[in-house]
């Protein structure tokens, strides 16, 4: 439950062993290779040649997969339905991550089909190119067709549109209306034939060559476009021709897509091969981080401390010519943060903390606290036990039926727990699908549910108590934040600052809370003791502000600054009033839905029951969705701003061991982890 301690591993070996060593490191799955430190007489091959070759393979595989995905949409068209209906591999095609876990060794076995697979990739790429070509041709033909359709009234061949010795013939088209006036401007002896069509006017004009230029100018004023064709066919013949061409292209296109449909059987292997080469690419890139001489090389990397023994043993067994060494991280080094948590804590870590940042190496892992508070607040805000029950069951079913591999189901696991928390809070608040107390007490089940209710959000005093609880929960989370920051300060040996600047706040917040509690319930013992401890805390805080300053005036200023900082803490506490506000919205909107649905039967008699059901189901679905979203984001904000703001900066960077990055399958934890698990189970 923490950020794991890391060690720096250095391996020196012969170049002939390099591939084997890299393979072993990938299989171990616990080594993040870092840039090797400088050694005299060595060099770094920054751009290994193999990198480019592998990167090209990865890119080709990716474009093949993308092409298949694009084709899927096309193949789902009506035209192909009869063909692909029985094509199982097409019907089952999935382009996301496969829900399978496999070892690196299993993944590597896909390479034996590499030749066949890359043949498929090349074929797909050819098909893709041809389809693009067909698409371009079709659009060219289509634009030609619209042009030709303007001339359907012309019954001569285009090639017959010619000038004679002394005259010029204009044949063309204009879509301008009222051209008569312009035509009168043409020379007296011009022969004009015009024909109105749907899209405009077809014009044929013969003028003497001497008048050609002026005529052209006049014609351009009415947007006259000259006929662009000169083929030896009539327009109708050409249209016929083009339609034939179009049909051939469509036929070919269909054929190509049918070929693509058959290739879907390779999809899974293409995905595997993609992941395999993705790892190969990472391996090749690590070579660019090694220092090397002509015959030897050094590789350096971070490994979790607890896997040290296994890693050294495996590497030493590989060959006699390998020297391995481990050491703790140096002062100026910044190891990656490897966060190890139980699955459920990890679920909150992946979905909430990770979007904010990664804990710094050697810092506190906030995930267990995030899990606790996130769950707690979620239930308070969502506050309807009925909704919580649905959420828990839905997430549980998804987890049971789909069995998401490794950590991919974390999202559902997280909301399952949030749902449970909602059930608890909802029961305490008596929130069941927005039903009112009167409605609930009408049935024995409702009376049973009500018997567990502690607070009623429709009762004057209880409302204030709920509001108080919301702020109180905030005080507890803030105190936790300050406490954790104090621990961080202790770690770097800033004892005085930890006690006076951080723990003082823990005292102030908790004692203040107790004092307020005492005043509200008029328990004088609590209020006076709490008050005194509260004042001690304030005094400590003032001292903390003066800490490390020599000049009395700047000491005073520091103390004042610390006191002034309490305004921020105060507004932080008020920020937790959103717990109460959101709690209210869920309940009241639920209630409104019930009321509206309830009056429908009286308004519309029998049909009213149907309408009531629709309103009831749809309304609660809407309330569930919009409030779940609201609660999710506001809860995250409380963690990020109010809680993390006190102690957590997220300045670390995550641990990404060699061979851990895949796109389509999950890899088993490296063999180093497996060995460790075995050791653990055999020990006790």
Partner 1 sequence: MLSGTAFALIGAALAVGLAGIGSSIGVSKAGQAAAGVVSEDPSKFMKCLILQLLPATQGLYGFVIGFVVMLKLNIFGGSMADLTPYSGLAMLGACLPMAISGLLSGIYQGKVAASGIALVAKRPEENIKAVVFTIMVETYALLGLLISFLAVYLPTYA
Member of 452, 607, 621, 641 binding partner 1 (CB under 8 A): 641
Q: Is 123 in the site for partner 1 (CB under 8 A)?
A: no
Strand partners, 34: 300
Q: Which stretch binds partner 1 (CB under 8 A): 37-45, 390-398, 517-525, 627-635?
A: 627-635
Segment interacting with partner 1, rule: CB under 8 A, options 66-74, 218-226, 495-503, 580-588: 580-588
Is 69 among the residues that bind partner 1 (CB under 8 A)? Answer: no
Q: Are 167 and 208 in contact (CB under 8 A)?
A: yes
Question: Which residues are CB-contacts of 665 (< 8 A; sequence separation ≥ 6)?
Answer: 97, 98, 100, 101, 102, 107, 271, 272, 275
Q: How far is the CB of 367 from partner 1 (least distance, A)?
A: 16
Give the span between the Cα atoms of 568 and 381, in whole angstroms: 23
Residue 129 binds partner 1, judged by CB under 8 A? no
Encoding tokens for residue 643? 């809680």
- Of 278, 546, 582, 628, the one binding partner 1 (CB under 8 A) is 582
Query: Can you tell me which of 49, 129, 492, 629 binds partner 1, judged by CB under 8 A?
Result: 629
- 584 near partner 1, rule: CB under 8 A: yes
User: 43 has which bridge partners?
Assistant: 292
Residue by residue, DSSP assigns 544-586 as: HHHTT--SHHHHHHHHHHHHHTHHHHHHHHHHTHHHHHHHHHH
Pick the stretch among 8-16, 269-277, 368-376, 461-469 that binds partner 1 (CB under 8 A): 461-469
Q: Which of 410, 287, 401 is nearest to 666 (CA)?
A: 410
Comparison of 393 and 626: residue with beta carbon closer to partner 1: 626
Give the whole-angstrom CA distance, residue 193 versus residue 551. 104
User: Residue 142 CB, nearest distance to partner 1 (Å)?
Assistant: 23
Q: Sketch the per residue contact string, 297 through 336, with partner 1: x for CB under 8 A, - otherwise.
A: ----------------------------------------
Q: Is 460 in the site for partner 1 (CB under 8 A)?
A: yes
Closer residue to partner 1, CB minimum distance, 366 or 670: 366
Taking the CB of residue 334, how many other CB atoms lie within 10 A of it? 15
| Interatomic CA distance for residues 463 and 456, integer angstroms | 7
Which is closer to partner 1, CB of 397 or CB of 629? Answer: 629
Q: Which of 27, 48, 44 shows the shortest CA–CA distance to 35?
A: 44
Scanning 310-318, 501-509, 631-639, 652-660 for contacts with partner 1 by CB under 8 A, the matching segment is: 631-639
- Residue 13 or 346: which CB sits closer to partner 1? 346
Q: Of 72, 575, 668, 675, which lies in the binding site for partner 1, with binding defined by CB under 8 A?
A: 575
Q: What token pair was written down for 114? A: 């590499």
Residue 621 as a binder of partner 1 (CB under 8 A): the answer is no
Asked if 465 touches partner 1 (CB under 8 A), the answer is: no
When asked if residue 97 is in the footprint of partner 1 (CB under 8 A), the reply is no
630 binds partner 1 (CB under 8 A): yes
Dist. CA 346–CA 254, nearest whole Å: 49
Could you say whether residue 626 binds partner 1 (CB under 8 A)? yes
Dmax of the chain from CA atoms? 121
578 near partner 1, rule: CB under 8 A: yes
Q: Is 463 in the site for partner 1 (CB under 8 A)?
A: yes
Q: Does 634 bind partner 1 (CB under 8 A)?
A: yes
CB of 637 to partner 1, least distance (A): 5
Task: Work out whether 192 is an interface residue with partner 1 (CB under 8 A).
Answer: no
Single out the residue of 394, 555, 588, 611 in contact with partner 1 (rule: CB under 8 A).
588
Per-residue binder mask for partner 1 (CB under 8 A), 334-373, x = binder: ---------------------x------------------
Q: Is 589 in the site for partner 1 (CB under 8 A)?
A: yes
Instruction: Report the distance separating Cα 481 and Cα 484, nearest Å.
Output: 5
Considering only CA atoms, give the Rg of the chain: 38
- Per DSSP, helices labelled H in 565-682 are 566-575, 577-637, 644-647, 671-682
Q: Which two tokens stand for residue 521?
A: 């319930």
Is residue 577 a contact point for partner 1 (CB under 8 A)? Answer: yes
Number of amino acids touching partner 1 (CB under 8 A): 28
CB under 8 A: which stretch of 27-35, 132-140, 401-409, 460-468 binds partner 1?
Answer: 460-468
> Please, what is the minimum distance in Å from the beta carbon of residue 454 to partner 1?
19
* Residues in 466-485 at the binding interface with partner 1, rule: CB under 8 A: 467
By CB under 8 A, residue 595 contacts partner 1: yes
117-123 long-range contacts, CB within 8 A, separation 24+: 117/266, 117/269, 117/270, 117/273, 118/57, 118/60, 120/64, 120/263, 120/266, 120/270, 121/60, 121/61, 121/64, 121/270, 123/259, 123/263
| Dihedral sign (CA 608, 613, 614, 616) | positive
Kindly state whether residue 569 participates in binding partner 1, applying the rule CB under 8 A: no
Candidate residues 276, 373, 380, 580; the one interacting with partner 1 per rule CB under 8 A: 580
- Asked if residues 385 and 434 have their Cβ atoms less than 8 Å apart, the reply is no
Residue partners of 338: CB distance under 8 A and separation at least 6? 3, 4, 6, 304, 654, 655
- Coil, helix or strand at residue 103: coil
Using CA atoms, how far apart are residues 93 and 98, in angstroms rounded to an integer? Answer: 10
18 binds partner 1 (CB under 8 A): no
Question: CB under 8 A: which stretch of 277-285, 601-609, 629-637, 663-671 binds partner 1?
Answer: 629-637
592 forms part of the interface with partner 1 (CB under 8 A): yes
Based on CB atoms, which residue is closest to partner 1, 484 or 589?
Answer: 589
Q: Provide the binding-site residues for partner 1, judged by CB under 8 A.
A: 355, 460, 463-464, 467, 574-575, 577-578, 580-582, 584-585, 588-589, 591-592, 595, 626, 629-630, 633-634, 636-637, 640-641
């Amino acid at each position: 439950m923490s950020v794991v301690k890391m060690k720096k591993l250095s391996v020196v070996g012969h170049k002939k062993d390099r591939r084997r060593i890299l393979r072993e490191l990938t299989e171990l799955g616990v080594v993040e290779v870092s840039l090797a430190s400088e050694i005299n007489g060595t060099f770094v091959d920054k751009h290994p040649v193999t990198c480019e070759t592998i990167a090209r393979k990865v890119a080709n595989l990716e474009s093949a997969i993308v092409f298949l995905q694009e084709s899927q949409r096309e193949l789902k068209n009506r035209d192909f339905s009869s063909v692909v209906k029985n094509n199982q591999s097409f019907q089952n095609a999935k382009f996301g991550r496969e829900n399978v876990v496999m070892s690196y060794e299993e993944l590597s076995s896909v390479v034996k089909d590499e030749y066949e697979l890359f043949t498929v990739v090349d074929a797909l790429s050819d098909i893709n190119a041809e389809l693009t070509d067909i698409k371009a041709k079709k659009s060219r033909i289509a634009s030609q067709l619209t042009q030709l359709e303007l001339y359907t009234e012309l019954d001569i061949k285009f090639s017959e549109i010619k000038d004679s010795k002394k005259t010029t013939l204009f044949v063309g088209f204009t879509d301008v209306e009222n051209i008569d006036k312009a035509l009168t401007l043409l020379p007296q002896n011009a022969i004009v034939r015009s024909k109105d069509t749907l899209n405009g006017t077809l014009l044929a004009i013969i003028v003497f060559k001497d008048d050609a230029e002026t005529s052209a100018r006049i014609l351009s004023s009415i947007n006259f476009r000259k006929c662009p064709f000169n083929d030896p066919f009539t327009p109708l013949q050409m249209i016929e021709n083009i339609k034939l061409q179009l049909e051939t292209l469509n036929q070919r296109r269909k054929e190509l897509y049918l070929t693509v449909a058959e290739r879907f059987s390779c999809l899974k292997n293409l995905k595997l091969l993609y992941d395999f080469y993705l790892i190969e690419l990472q391996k090749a890139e690590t070579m660019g981080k090694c220092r090397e001489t002509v015959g030897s090389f050094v590789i350096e990397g971070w490994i979790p401390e607890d896997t040290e023994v296994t890693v050294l043993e495996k590497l030493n067994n590989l060959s006699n010519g390998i020297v391995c060494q481990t050491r703790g991280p140096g002062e100026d080094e910044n190891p990656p943060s490897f966060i190890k948590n139980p699955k459920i804590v990890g679920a909150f870590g992946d979905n909430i903390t990770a979007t904010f940042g990664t804990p710094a190496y050697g810092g506190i892992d906030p995930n267990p606290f995030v899990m606790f508070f996130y769950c707690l607040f979620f239930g308070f805000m969502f506050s309807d036990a009925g909704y919580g029950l649905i959420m828990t069951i839905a997430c549980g079913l998804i987890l049971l039926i789909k069995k998401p591999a490794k950590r991919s189901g974390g999202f559902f696991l997280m909301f399952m727990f949030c749902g449970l928390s909602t059930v608890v809070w909802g029961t305490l608040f008596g929130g069941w699908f927005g039903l009112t107390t009167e409605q609930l007490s009408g049935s024995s089940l409702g009376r049973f549910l009500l018997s567990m209710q502690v607070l009623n959000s429709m009762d004057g005093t209880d409302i204030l108590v709920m509001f108080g609880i919301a702020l109180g929960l905030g005080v507890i989370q803030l105190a936790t934040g300050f406490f954790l920051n104090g621990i961080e300060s202790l770690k770097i040996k800033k004892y005085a600052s930890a006690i006076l600047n951080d723990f003082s706040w823990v005292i102030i917040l908790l004692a203040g809370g107790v004092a307020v509690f005492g005043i509200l319930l008029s328990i004088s013992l609590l209020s006076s003791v709490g008050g005194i401890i509260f004042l001690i805390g304030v005094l400590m805080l003032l001292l903390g502000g003066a800490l490390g300053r020599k000049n009395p005036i700047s000491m005073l200023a520091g103390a004042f600054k610390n006191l002034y900082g309490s305004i921020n803490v105060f507004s932080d506490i008020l920020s937790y009033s959103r717990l109460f506000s959101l709690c209210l919205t869920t309940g009241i909107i639920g209630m409104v839905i019930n009321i509206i649905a309830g009056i429908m039967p009286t308004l519309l008699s029998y049909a009213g029951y149907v309408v009531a059901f629709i309103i009831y189901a749809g309304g609660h679905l809407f309330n569930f969705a919009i409030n779940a979203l609201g609660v999710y984001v506001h809860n995250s904000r409380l963690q990020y701003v109010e809680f993390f703001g006190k102690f957590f900066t997220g300045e670390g960077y995550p641990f990404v061991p060699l061979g851990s990055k895949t796109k389509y399958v999950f890899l088993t934890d490296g063999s180093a982890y497996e060995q460790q698990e075995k050791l653990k189970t055999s020990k006790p």
